Every structure is written in structure tokens, then in C-alpha cells.
């Protein structure tokens, strides 16, 4: 039997309408069946996903199903990591899917150059598979390996775990897993810890992943209490990135790349601006202060938050009384 080169890790929760398409596109990548595995983690899904997958694995020996009580995306991914055997890992969300035939060449590139991390591009699509937005690409392809530190100095921070192939050996070397205490934006802290210390990183401008924009997904839930928890979790993600910055600088003596701080501040910006529109400025602001992140610096070009508009927004949100007043006005008008 050949060595397993790639482990796909697919967390599943309430995606019965999408998971078969996801799995079919994973199978349809042109990789030798002996060289990859698909680890599906049923995260206590209350719908019919588990039964659907159980039937699917009867005819697809590469696919394994692991069931566990609901613990969130991070917990499901960690279970997948701990049960994987591949030289490289790819995290695939079960409501998304892959572009057929693209992963084989990317995998061979990663294997041939013994990369720690290989990034690739993606396409946003609607529920019918129609393109809705171009992938947010980095500035330029980097087909020659560079360190993670140099990559972050010249490229944008990429906070999506499904946009890369990750060396299992490297992940074990850094000894990090997804933080299960963070339920929203968990990818940012994960990348902030594993990317800066990587020795060999490459970005290929190949669209290999389709991100499905679902209006009914967890990220789009309009419930006020859900929104409040989401914003507080994003603050926790920002605090975790800040810890990663501190750890990197203390262990290397180097300044952390600005793009990492930029991602931290994007989470804070979003939390503050969204808090204004949903009336929970006090909770979010208090959470940011408890994390020691207020006031935070203005986001620069690495996050595309530049110009007079964002300068004014930043000026206002750094003045709590004004920001709370604006929130009250907004909520009154909205009603």
C-alpha cells in the first residue's frame, strides 16, 4: 500500500443538503485512491447528515466517519487531525466543494518541494454554483518557497484554513491545534500561530475551492443573541492573535509582520462596527477592554481599511460615548 499523501478533514453539522456534493468533488480530484483519505467528523449533527454519510462510505473506501458530541468546528477539525495519516492536511467545510481535478497538481507541488504550507485561490459562489465574487487573492503568486515570515511581509494574511495544504509534520512540530474556546473566526488565530514560523511557504494562483455563500448558515444567523455571541467570539479571536504576536516577537526577537496585526484589527473593527448596528456596543467594548486591546491602532493598507471614511470611523469608535450615542440613534431609526 502506498503512503497516504493527503488527508481531507471534513467537519459536518446540519449540512445534509450539501455534504454529498462536497464529498463527490473530493473524490473527483484525480489522486490515486491509495494516496488519500477523507475523514468526515459528524459533530453531533441533529439532521440526517450522519445517515447520508454512512450510506456513502459503503461505496467509497477512502471515506471514514467519526461521530462525536457537538463541540464546534474547531473540536471537529482537531478530531480529524488526531485521526489522520496523511503527509498533508486539507480542511474542507462540508457545505463547500472543490473544483474537480485541481488538487492533484497542488499536492504534487507540495510533496515535491517538501513545503510546510501551500496556499491556493478560491471562488465565491451562490447556492446554485454561480460565481458571486472573485477570491480575495494575495498580491502575487510565490511559486518559489519562502519563509512564513517573509511571506507575511509581502502578502496579505490569509485567515481561511480551507485555502491551504498543511504539512502534518510541521503541524506536529509547532504543536498547535484549533482553539476550541473560539467558535467564530477560529481560522485567524490558527494561522497567526502556524504561518509566521513556517520554513517553506508557496502561494499558487489556482482556483481549487468553491466557497458557498449560504444565507442560512451559522455565520448569517440574524438572531440578536447569536450576533452578540458572534461579536464577543471575534474579540476572543483578536485576543488570541494578539497573544500569537507577543509569543512570536518574544521567541524570535523580530517584529511581527504588520499583516498579522492587521487581521487582529479587522476582527476588532468588525466587532465594533457591527455592535453599533445591533445595539450591543457596551458588551463588545467591555470585552475588548478586558482583553487589553482598547484602544487599538487604525488598520492600514494590509486590510484595505484606508482613506477618509475609515479614518473618521476609527476616530469615532475610539470615543465610546460618541459610539454608544450613534448606536442608539441607529437602532431608533432602524425600528
**C-alpha to C-alpha distance for 255 and 14, rounded to whole angstroms:** 42
**C-alpha to C-alpha distance for 163 and 119, rounded to whole angstroms:** 6
HEC-encoded secondary structure of 146-163? ECHHHHHHHCCCCCCHHH
Q: What is the DSSP letter of 184?
A: S
Contacts of 246 (CB under 8 A, 6+ apart): none
List of domains in the chain: 6-218 (3.90.550.10), 222-334 (no CATH)
When mean pLDDT is compared across 40-44, 158-162, 197-201, the lowest value belongs to: 158-162
pTM as predicted: 0.92
pLDDT in tens, 193-237: 999 999 999 999 899 999 998 765 444 556 778 788 899 999 999
Please tell me the predicted confidence (pLDDT) of residue 300. Answer: 65
| First vs last C-alpha separation in the chain | 64
Amino acid at each position: 500500500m502506498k503512503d497516504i499523501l493527503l488527508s481531507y478533514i471534513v467537519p459536518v453539522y446540519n449540512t445534509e443538503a450539501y455534504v454529498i456534493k462536497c464529498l463527490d468533488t473530493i473524490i473527483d480530484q484525480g489522486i490515486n485512491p491509495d494516496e488519500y483519505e477523507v475523514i468526515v467528523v459528524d459533530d453531533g449533527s441533529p439532521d440526517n447528515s450522519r445517515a447520508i454519510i454512512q450510506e456513502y462510505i459503503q461505496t467509497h473506501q477512502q471515506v471514514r466517519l467519526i461521530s462525536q458530541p457537538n463541540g464546534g468546528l474547531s473540536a471537529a477539525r482537531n478530531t480529524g487531525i488526531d485521526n489522520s495519516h496523511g503527509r498533508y492536511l486539507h480542511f474542507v467545510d462540508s457545505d463547500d466543494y472543490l473544483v474537480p481535478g485541481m488538487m492533484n497538481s497542488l499536492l504534487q507541488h507540495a510533496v515535491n518541494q517538501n513545503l510546510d504550507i501551500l496556499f491556493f485561490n478560491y471562488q465565491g459562489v451562490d447556492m446554485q454554483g454561480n460565481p458571486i465574487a472573485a477570491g480575495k487573492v494575495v498580491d502575487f503568486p510565490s511559486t518559489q518557497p519562502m519563509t512564513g515570515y517573509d511571506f507575511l511581509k509581502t502578502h496579505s494574511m490569509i485567515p481561511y484554513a480551507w485555502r491551504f495544504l498543511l504539512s502534518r509534520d510541521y503541524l506536529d512540530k509547532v504543536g498547535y491545534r484549533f482553539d476550541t474556546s473560539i467558535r467564530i473566526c477560529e481560522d485567524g488565530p490558527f494561522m497567526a500561530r502556524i504561518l509566521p514560523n513556517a520554513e517553506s511557504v508557496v502561494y499558487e494562483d489556482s482556483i481549487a475551492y468553491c466557497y458557498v455563500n449560504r444565507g442560512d448558515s451559522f455565520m448569517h444567523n440574524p438572531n440578536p443573541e447569536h450576533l452578540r455571541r458572534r461579536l464577543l467570539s471575534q474579540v476572543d479571536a483578536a485576543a488570541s492573535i494578539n497573544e500569537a504576536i507577543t509569543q512570536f516577537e518574544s521567541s524570535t526577537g523580530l517584529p511581527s509582520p504588520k499583516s498579522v496585526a492587521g487581521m487582529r484589527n479587522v476582527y476588532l473593527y468588525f466587532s465594533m462596527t457591527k455592535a453599533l448596528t445591533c445595539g450591543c456596543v457596551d458588551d463588545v467594548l467591555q470585552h475588548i477592554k478586558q482583553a487589553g486591546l482598547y484602544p487599538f491602532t487604525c488598520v492600514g493598507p494590509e486590510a484595505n481599511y484606508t482613506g477618509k471614511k475609515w479614518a473618521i470611523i476609527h476616530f469615532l469608535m475610539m470615543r465610546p460615548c460618541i459610539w454608544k450615542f450613534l448606536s442608539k440613534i441607529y437602532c431608533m431609526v432602524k425600528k
